[in-house]
Chain A
């Protein structure tokens, strides 16, 4: 990194109470304090958020596409985890 090339940060925004933080994008900042402030200015200037996280992009460990199958296929194989798997007679409420 050159002196003027600030590191990259990933920004996560909680759009309102009750929801998880969602990835919004990234930005450059010299440090965490500024990353947070820049994130506020950039990603919430129309009131899009109530809380922010910033994470150095270099701190993220991601699954690799090569690992995709063993990683995610078992989950795709368990339809019974999803509510639509079950047939419920019509008219039964609160399920």
Chain B
């Protein structure tokens, strides 16, 4: 595929063998560093260190994959949503996730990656998606818990990304965050209706929160002292806050929200620490986190199998449309939507 000129980086200066190249690279590096330091954005055609580019491709792709794999646990309940209002909300939300996946794949493509290649890496396990989506949605209340806790954690992570040093990623995140504001609220409202509903509904809500709480805390990634990529990402201003910092912020937000819901969080160690000005919480089971990450979660295989099946079964459709376009390669410049 021809990479768009608008997305292509002028990298000719990277070629070895010519005198003065090292100096040139040095200059480029200095311009890059100064741009990041001044809190300005790096744009697609700017020179950037290879490692910066690779880190971004990996992170944006993982983010995009998470959006489209994340459609599955929620789409699992579209056909069973218990009211037409809830059905409409859930469909709109799952649709947004497909849209967010598309925004993010677009951002990754500005770095020279192709979507086809990124999808292939997802399907063959060479790129990851957020481990949270390897947990199943067993009851309707899980849809609410995902909205409140999983989207809540995602938003806590994503809001700082709107100021990420790479322009296209930051712009995609602005759009995503704007659209996601309703996702968390609908989840909270859904749980509130259940919590205030019948005894069975209340129990369903509590059960869902009990199952989703700890995996949601794991979404912020390993503790700071074990996080492999954190320091460099922070220096590059791809990442703005540490994993533990964001996790603390999330816990502080959730505790009073749970109280208003009339639900408890499944952590006996959770209590306000006056001195630190934060809630203390119990230890996270990082063994489970690592196991799920490795592929041993309840749904890892199911999620990839479904994704791959949709892609493979759609191949003839994409091929037919491409063949039609080749046959009728007329420009329809006057058309306006």
Q: Does chain A touch chain B in the assembled complex, meaning CB atoms less than 8 Å apart?
A: yes
- Tell me how far the C-beta of A20 lies from the nearest C-beta in chain B, rounded to whole angstroms: 15
Is B116 part of the contact surface with A, judged by Cβ < 8 Å? Answer: yes
Q: List 27 A-B contacts (CB under 8 A).
A: A2-B1, A2-B116, A3-B322, A4-B315, A7-B2, A10-B4, A25-B103, A25-B106, A25-B172, A26-B106, A28-B115, A31-B321, A31-B325, A31-B328, A32-B332, A32-B335, A34-B321, A36-B332, A37-B337, A40-B337, A45-B95, A52-B336, A52-B337, A57-B3, A57-B5, A65-B9, A65-B10
Interface residues of B in 119-162 (CB under 8 A from A): none
- Tell me how far the C-beta of A68 lies from the nearest C-beta in chain B, rounded to whole angstroms: 9
B106 A64 Cβ-Cβ under 8 A? no
- Tell me how far the C-beta of A34 lies from the nearest C-beta in chain B, rounded to whole angstroms: 7
- Tell me how far the C-beta of A89 lies from the nearest C-beta in chain B, rounded to whole angstroms: 36
Is A1 part of the contact surface with B, judged by Cβ < 8 Å? Answer: yes
Which 10 residue pairs of A and B lie closest in terms of their CB atoms, listed nearest first?
A: A57-B4, A30-B321, A31-B325, A4-B318, A30-B325, A60-B6, A1-B1, A64-B10, A5-B116, A26-B106
B46 A65 Cβ-Cβ under 8 A? yes
Residue count of chain A within 8 Å CB distance of chain B: 35
Mostly helix, strand, loop or mixed at chain A's interface?
Answer: mixed
Is B47 part of the contact surface with A, judged by Cβ < 8 Å? Answer: yes
The residue in chain A whose Cβ has the minimal distance to the Cβ of B12 is A66
Interface residues of B in 285-337 (CB under 8 A from A): 315, 318-319, 321-325, 328-329, 331-333, 335-337
The residue in chain B whose Cβ has the minimal distance to the Cβ of A34 is B321
- Tell me how far the C-beta of A51 lies from the nearest C-beta in chain B, rounded to whole angstroms: 6
Q: Which residues of the partner chain B approach A64 to less than 8 Å between Cβ atoms?
A: 10, 45
